[in-house]
Amino acid sequence: MSDTPRSLLITSIGKAFAPRPDSPYRVDLLQADCLYCREGRIEAWLDSASQAAEIEALRRKGLPLCDASDALLLPGFVDSHTHPVFFAHRAEEYEMRNAGRDYLEIQRAGGGILSSRRSLMAADPAELKARVRQRLKRFLRLGTTTVEAKSGYGLSVEHELLSLRLLKELDAESPMPRLYPTLLAAHSVPPEHREDREEWFRRINEQILPVVVREGLAKHADAFCEPAVLSLQETETLMSRAREAGLGIKLHAEQIESAGGGALAARLGALSADHLEEIDEAGIQAMVEAGTVFALLPGSTYFLGMERWAPARRIIEAGGRIALCTDFNPGSSHIQSMPFILSLATCRLKMSAEEAVWAATAGGALALDAAGEIGCLEPGAAADLCLWPFQDLAQLPYTCGDNRPARVILGGEVLGQEE
């Protein structure tokens, strides 16, 4: 997002719920119906019953006003795992899978990550940028004010850098969600390097990573740590190098096989391990001890037609901190809506409304190393807010299939309601 800090006075808030950045799953009901945002940040909570004079003084300053009309106020969602930089949809692959074709058949028919790579490489860069822009703006309309966005469909030096530079350009536009770009060159080993995998890793380390660091193109690096894609050893080598270069680490892990990716994330000091449908007890313990965030993506389990959901209750019982994310991508989760992820988190992962809301806000912020800055209502945090047409928190995940905030506020600016 661009840098135009705004001040704002929000009045007539019905209820404001504050996920606590330092206390997993704690979401407090605030005793205030008025919020003063100053220069894009949360400045002070005020209650019209006891602080009428202070509120009146702020009104007299001529601040922009927002009447919340008794809506429920929450921080905007922090979606800490998405893949929005793709060109073509893959609806035909979805159709094949539902007709019973397996992953290998779909790959033979030209599907999978490599299909996204082909269409991205063939795309007109301006048209690619227009599509990514449209997707990022759609996140905003759905209440997501911070989006982690991965490369990973380029899978060449040129197209990985193109993907990240495109995000940097979009980040300067307004309105645009706060973007946290992630280098995911290690999404797959491209076909031309299948016989010499080390050559692809060398290019990542020598030709991509230094440029990413020099141009400030990514905050984090990620790798698809699955036996069928990258081994534990390959992942560790790549991610250690990225960490040395100054990037935070995230891992795709334990989606297909229980193979130790969660424990590796813990050992590497990663911010999060993501997916984790197949994580075992030892992996959970290792991540809890290291403080690694459990980024859960129930949208892909749903979208792939699978029944094995990530063990959210077990993770919560063990003291783990969960971030909920859409995993938005054209192959395994064509889902941008965090409210739908909250639906899945409650009726499939069996999280409570409070747990799910915490994980979709404060949990996402933790997974981006931004706790206290976004995904919360603490004074000093970004004034990224959603107004929901509900009386109670429980109505948010209960409203399923089409659920958007009544209003979205980004850095203190009330956004328009464009479709």
- Residue 140 vs 189, nearer CB to its own copies: 140
Given the rule CB under 8 A, which of 10-18, 176-184, 290-298, 397-405 is the region that contacts its own copies? 397-405
| 415 interacts with its own copies by CB under 8 A | no
Which of 77, 302, 358, 388 binds its own copies (CB under 8 A)? It is: 302
- Spatial strand order of the sheet with 41-46 comes to 41-46, 34-38, 8-11, 65-67
Which of 45, 224, 340, 358 binds its own copies (CB under 8 A)? It is: 340
Q: What CA–CA distance (Å, rounded) separates 294 from 262? A: 9
- Residue 50 vs 69, nearer CB to its own copies: 69
Q: What CA–CA distance (Å, rounded) separates 239 from 24? A: 27
| 316 interacts with its own copies by CB under 8 A | no
In the shown chain, the binding pattern of residues 244 to 283 toward its own copies, with x for contact by CB under 8 A and - for none, equals ----------------------------------------
Q: What CA–CA distance (Å, rounded) separates 176 from 76? A: 13
- Residue 141 vs 220, nearer CB to its own copies: 141
Q: What CA–CA distance (Å, rounded) separates 181 from 173? A: 15
Given the rule CB under 8 A, which of 41-49, 109-117, 199-207, 332-340 is the region that contacts its own copies? 332-340
User: What SS3 string covers 169-190?
Assistant: HHHCCCCCCEEEEEEEEECCCC
CA 395 to chain centre: 22
| 69 interacts with its own copies by CB under 8 A | no
| 130 interacts with its own copies by CB under 8 A | no
Minimum CB–partner distance for residue 79 and its own copies (Å): 12
Q: What CA–CA distance (Å, rounded) separates 357 from 378? A: 16
Residues that contact its own copies, how many (by CB under 8 A): 46
Question: Under a CB-based contact definition with an 8 Å cutoff, are residues 32 and 13 in contact?
Answer: yes
In the shown chain, the binding pattern of residues 74 to 113 toward its own copies, with x for contact by CB under 8 A and - for none, equals ---------------xxxx-xx-xxxx-------------
6: left (phi over 0), alpha (psi -120 to 50) or beta: beta
| Residues 6+ positions from 379 with CB-CB distance below 8 Å | 41, 42, 43, 44, 45
Which residues of the shown chain bind its own copies in the complex (CB under 8 A)?
89-92, 94-95, 97-100, 142, 299, 302-305, 307, 326, 334-337, 339-341, 346-348, 350-353, 392, 394-395, 397-404, 406, 417, 419
